[in-house]
Amino acid sequence: MDIQWYPGHMAKTKRLISENLKLIDIVIELVDARIPVSSRNPEVDGLVGGKKKIVVLNKTDLADPEINKLWEQHYKDAGQPYVFVDCIKGKGIKELIAKIKQVMKPVMDRDKKKGRMNRQIKCLILGIPNVGKSTLINTIGGKSTAKTGNIPGVTKSNQWIKVSSDILLLDTPGILWPKFDDEVIGLKLAWIGSIKETIYDREEAALKLIGYLREAYPEKLHDRYKIEFDENTTDLEIMDKIALKRKLLARGGEIDYARTSEMIMDEIKKTTFGKISFEWPMEQL
Ligand SMILES: Nc1nc2c(ncn2[C@@H]2O[C@H](COP(=O)(O)OP(=O)(O)O)[C@@H](O)[C@H]2O)c(=O)[nH]1
Ligand SMILES: [Mg+2]
């Protein structure tokens, strides 16, 4: 992540978002399906206020399908409209468009009764860096990313992308800052490759990742590195075993923790482990 979220930035971002919010009917809050809570800023709810909102869980291609099911139930229970998507392959986009129409139907019907016909639904995408906002805008806009002309009340710098005959999308998404005040959130963001590891000690991030994987995905950890471990093996011993398997040793033959950590962090980002999620609904953050 290139942006440092100083209070000044936050204030400016908040102001920009609330200005854009005035123009729109519905917010699309984009999160990473692997960490739906850690990849959002909880302040979004306050910012969005009374606007309608759909939570869009992106990168489902990378997330654990079993954990996705738990999140589905979680959003259903909360009465929060949600859609799972894969913005690169375009999966779930049709469902998202249908969901926007469904959520907005009561408003549209009411407006129609008042004689307000041909009303268009205006949407804004919000999310922290790297969740796929730009990719979603490109995918949802499709080839015919027809940018409409000026619309009264809309600043010139904002353009509307025509999603369907009655849905418009603001072409500039609102960028929220991640919530950094919890170390676990920062770690998860580092695991999915969303923030530069320079913020975290890479060796610590890798060691904690091993700690997570051995609990949540022991078979995947075993299969990937062909290592044996049980409940008596420490996380550090697992890291040693991985280093020995991969021959990541320094000159004197001792373990090269820097390279081992780098390799593990790289592999988790490249999804060589398969589909993995890093948080589930019941978890206490
Ligand atoms: N695997 C996967 N990668 C995605 C998906 N959507 C976006 N990405 C990737 O995530 C990275 C960040 O996407 P981008 O649209 O730039 O995020 P933004 O910062 O929110 O605008 C890019 O490398 C995208 O190719 C998805 O559904 N699946
Ligand atoms: Mg972007």
Q: Output the CA 222–ligand 1 centroid distance in Å.
A: 29
Tell me the C-alpha distance between 134 and 192, whole Å.
18
Residues 28 and 129 in one domain: yes
Residues 50 and 166 in one domain: yes
Residues 253 and 148 in one domain: no
Residues 91 and 166 in one domain: yes
Domain end point (choices 141, 175, 209): 175
Tell me the C-alpha distance between 205 and 283, whole Å.
19
Distance of CA 78 to the CA centre of its chain: 19
The predicted structure's pLDDT at residue 178: 87
Tell me the C-alpha distance between 14 and 7, whole Å.
10
135 among annotated binding-site residues: yes
Closest of 3, 11, 19, 9 to residue 172, by C-alpha? 19
**C-beta of 62 in contact with ligand 1 (< 6 A):** yes
Residues 252 and 209 in one domain: yes
* Angle in degrees, CA 203, 282, 39, rounded to 5: 50
Evaluate whether residue 230 is within a structural domain.
yes
**C-beta of 100 in contact with ligand 1 (< 6 A):** no
Spell out the SS3 assignment of the chain. Answer: CCCCCCHHHHHHHHHHHHHHHCCCCEEEEEEECCCCCCCCCCCHHHHHCCCEEEEEEECCCCCCHHHHHHHHHHHHHHCCCEEECECCCCECHHHHHHHHHHHHHHHHHHHHHCCCCCCCEEEEEEECCCCCHHHHHHHHHCCCCCECCCCCCCCCCCCEEEEECCEEEECCCEECCCCCCCHHHHHHHHHCCCCCHHHCCHHHHHHHHHHHHHHHCHHHHHHHHCCCCCCCCCHHHHHHHHHHHHCCECCCCCECHHHHHHHHHHHHHCCCCCCCCCCCCCCCC
The predicted structure's pLDDT at residue 107: 94
Q: Output the CA 269–ligand 2 centroid distance in Å.
A: 19
- Match 């991969």 to its residue by tokens: 246
Residues 43 and 147 in one domain: yes
Residues 171 and 206 in one domain: no
The predicted structure's pLDDT at residue 156: 53
Q: Output the CA 139–ligand 2 centroid distance in Å.
A: 13
Residues 211 and 93 in one domain: no
Residue 242: CATH number of its domain: 1.10.1580.10
Domain end point (choices 175, 209, 231): 175
253 among annotated binding-site residues: no
**C-beta of 20 in contact with ligand 1 (< 6 A):** no
The predicted structure's pLDDT at residue 199: 63
Distance of CA 168 to the CA centre of its chain: 22
Nearest ligand to the CA atom of 127:
1
Q: Output the CA 134–ligand 2 centroid distance in Å.
A: 4
Summarize pLDDT for 2-37 with one digit per residue, the tens. 445 667 777 888 888 889 999 999 999 999 999 999
Residues 45 and 146 in one domain: yes
Q: Based on the structure, what is the number of domains in the chain?
A: 2
The phi and psi torsions of 246 (rounded to 5 degrees) equal -90, 5
Domain containing residue 262: 201-269
69 among annotated binding-site residues: no
The predicted structure's pLDDT at residue 182: 82
Give me the tens of pLDDT residue by residue for the chain, a chain 285 residues long: 444 566 777 788 888 888 999 999 999 999 999 999 999 999 999 999 889 999 999 999 999 999 999 999 999 999 999 999 999 999 999 999 999 999 999 999 999 999 988 889 999 999 999 999 999 999 998 754 444 444 444 445 678 999 999 999 999 899 998 887 788 898 999 999 887 655 678 999 999 999 999 999 999 999 999 999 999 999 999 999 999 999 999 989 999 999 999 999 999 988 889 999 999 997 644
Residues 167 and 40 in one domain: yes
Evaluate whether residue 283 is within a structural domain.
no
Evaluate whether residue 184 is within a structural domain.
no
Evaluate whether residue 280 is within a structural domain.
no
- Burial grade of 228 (CB within 10 A; 0-12, 13-18, 19 or more): exposed
The predicted structure's pLDDT at residue 157: 63
Give CA separation, 65 vs 56, 59, 217, 218, in Å.
Answer: 15, 11, 13, 17
Residues 258 and 143 in one domain: no
- Match 């806009």 to its residue by tokens: 141
Residue 112: CATH number of its domain: 3.40.50.300
Q: Which residues pair with 250 in a beta bridge?
A: none
Evaluate whether residue 64 is within a structural domain.
yes
The predicted structure's pLDDT at residue 5: 60
Residues 38 and 163 in one domain: yes
The predicted structure's pLDDT at residue 177: 87
232 among annotated binding-site residues: no
Evaluate whether residue 2 is within a structural domain.
no
Evaluate whether residue 194 is within a structural domain.
no
Minimal-distance CA residue to ligand 1 atom 14 = 132
Does residue 159 contact residue 139 with C-beta atoms inside 8 Å? no
Q: Output the CA 240–ligand 2 centroid distance in Å.
A: 38
Evaluate whether residue 117 is within a structural domain.
yes
Among 64, 87, 271, name the best residue to mutate to test ligand 1's pocket (greatest count of ligand atoms within 8 A of Cβ).
87
Tell me the C-alpha distance between 168 and 170, whole Å.
7
**C-beta of 267 in contact with ligand 1 (< 6 A):** no
Does residue 276 contact residue 224 with C-beta atoms inside 8 Å? no
**C-beta of 138 in contact with ligand 1 (< 6 A):** no
**C-beta of 176 in contact with ligand 1 (< 6 A):** no
